[in-house]
Amino acid sequence: MSNPQLSVGLLFTCAIDFRDVARKYAIKNGRNMFIKNEKDKVRVVCSVGCPWVVYAAQVRNEKTFQVRTYHAEHTCGRVSKNNNLTSRYLWKKYVDHFLNDPKLFIGVFMNTMRS
């Protein structure tokens, strides 16, 4: 999994794409992030007391979301148990592997997960 790079001005096709990238960032960097959705805005914050934040808002008259604020510094530490790593996330990430190879054994899946 590559480490998603975030920056002010970055565009996403929709709020779902933005949330997916934020979730990937949280997992890759070992942080527990909290996603707060509003009608045309999404704010992702880190654990209590950490200043890390990314905020994206919908571009007027489009579905596109754009990063408006990004504070990249963490004061928190990495976590061993990540609340962003959900079964839904894993299913979405690996469903193509299962559909392409129905004989996939759990051992192969575990190796894929570690890579």
**Binding positions for Zn ion, rule: CB under 5 A:** 46, 50, 52, 74, 76
Cβ atoms of 25 and 78 within 8 Å: the answer is no
Q: Report the nearest approach of Zn ion to the CB of residue 73 (Å).
A: 8
CB nearer to Zn ion: pick between 18 and 25: 25
CB nearer to Zn ion: pick between 12 and 52: 52
CB nearer to Zn ion: pick between 47 and 64: 47
Q: Which residues pair with 41 in a beta bridge?
A: 57
Cβ atoms of 14 and 63 within 8 Å: the answer is yes
